[in-house]
Amino acid sequence: MENKTLSTKTDTMQTNLSRKDFLKLLLKLALPICFQQFMLASVGAADAFMLGSVEQNSMAAVSLATQIQFIQNMIMASVISATTVLGAQYWGKQDMKSLDDIFSLSLRLCAFVSVLFFSLCTLIPGKLMFIYTNEPALIAIGESYLRIAGFSYLLTGISQSFLAMMKVTDHVFTGALISSSAVVVNIVLNAVFIYSLKLGAIGAAIATLTARCLEVILAVSTSFRRGFIHPKLRELLHINKNLTSDFFKCMLPLLGAGLLWGLGFTSYPSFMGHLGTDAAASNSVTAVIRDLICCACDGLASGCGIMVGNELGSGNLARGKSHGRRMLKLSFIVGILSALLMFAISPAILAGVKLTEQARTYLMQMLAVMSVYMIGRSVNSITINGIFAAGGDTLFDMYSLAVVMWAIAVPLAALGTYVFHWPVVLVYACTCLDEVGKIPWTMLHFKKYKWVKDLTRDRQ
């Protein structure tokens, strides 16, 4: 990998875009992704609120069951993120052959992960559920959900690879439209299966599988339209050794960080599940609201990564650095606005779900804690997943998670749950320490500018 830095390659273009042009370009990329993320999070919201309006245990069980898919998504996210990082830089360089190689590699890796999780969910769903709760009622419901939803996990990697390539090749709106169409179908079918046919958690699983089938069909067929990129059959098994090496250098730290974060993050619902069904149910609702509000920072992180990556890959390192500084400031603004939004919608959330009085008390306390968490989540998502990743600076996230999450947040939450028997809200606050605690470390690392790199190679 050519490790070109700011001091070794001169920017031949104007360093700064005007504020208006910068925001216009960012919104063009980020708004469709924010909308796409919001629509994807809406599926979880629909599951939670539709099931929650019928029966509390179904909502809690499905929320715990989907943690399995969450882990799968964390693994595949490392592949998709590496695809996006390298894809954005090679797109900035307009090297189409390398883009084809990246696409094929992404599909191969995602297919392997999809088959693995499909097998686990369909063969041992009960054992997977036992990881997150020891409540027999929740295990039984979650097991029935996973046996069906597991088939949708076969398709996830295919659709995500196609959508990622659309994102980095200036078809971000089309990718968002495909993903959002599948979400709408999912939500409509949720309503039919849960309310009309009374299928509960099984209905939610059938709706998820149907929507995923639609998403794959739309993504693959669209990629064959003029102006889009699709993998060529003869290239799917072709291995570009240099590019594969670059891909894994970028992906493996992302995978390490994803596993550290994903396993830690999915342990949090496990703590809540072992504190009782009321704690599990209130945590399920809070998680849905968190995911909905985080769509803004996640969408901006993706848009930022593409913007910075395009500039770095085309050799405009000074402009890429300038984009990063602007995005850092914006991350704090988005975080504060997200916290205020969490406060503002809390009364409506409490009125919209059917919970026991104890669960409602837990929910109110968790929403207050989550408001503070949103600031850290915004800053770290945009800076680490957007700015740092755009230049291949992917090791920092793994190191910071090893310390802040696994040396502080997870041990404290585990001790509070199993040893000291702390109040539910205090255990929940421990699970939110990781994002808030990383902010000072993230700021120090940003100033080192290790992320200002051109990762592309000249083809031999």
**Average confidence score pLDDT of the chain:** 86
Q: Are 142 and 61 in contact (CB under 8 A)?
A: yes
Measured CA to CA, the distance from residue 3 to residue 156 in angstroms comes to 33
Beta strands 4-5 and 453-454, pairing class? antiparallel
Identify the weakest region by mean pLDDT among 81-85, 175-179, 198-202, 325-329: 198-202
Measured CA to CA, the distance from residue 308 to residue 324 in angstroms comes to 7
- Integer CA distances (angstroms), 445 to 30, 333, 334, 360, 433, in order: 24, 20, 20, 40, 19
Other CB atoms within 10 Å distance of the CB of residue 179: 24
Identify the weakest region by mean pLDDT among 38-47, 301-310, 417-426, 437-446: 38-47
Residue 194's pLDDT is what? Answer: 84
Mean pLDDT of all residues in 188-211: 89
H or E segment to which residue 200 belongs: helix 200-222
Residue 177's pLDDT is what? Answer: 92
Q: Which two tokens stand for residue 300?
A: 């901006």
Tens-digit pLDDT profile for residues 375-394: 999 999 999 999 999 998 98
Between residues 52 and 435, the one the model is more confident about: 435
Residue 2's pLDDT is what? Answer: 46
Between residues 288 and 178, the one the model is more confident about: 178
Residue 15's pLDDT is what? Answer: 54
Residue 416's pLDDT is what? Answer: 94
Tens-digit pLDDT profile for residues 212-245: 999 999 999 999 998 898 887 777 777 888 889 9
The SS3 call for residue 16 is: coil
Residue 388's pLDDT is what? Answer: 94
Q: Which two tokens stand for residue 298?
A: 């996640």
Q: Are 13 and 319 in contact (CB under 8 A)?
A: yes
Measured CA to CA, the distance from residue 455 to residue 20 in angstroms comes to 28
Longest dimension (CA), the chain: 67
Mean pLDDT of all residues in 30-57: 76
Tens-digit pLDDT profile for residues 65-120: 887 887 888 888 889 989 999 999 998 888 888 888 899 999 999 989 999 999 99
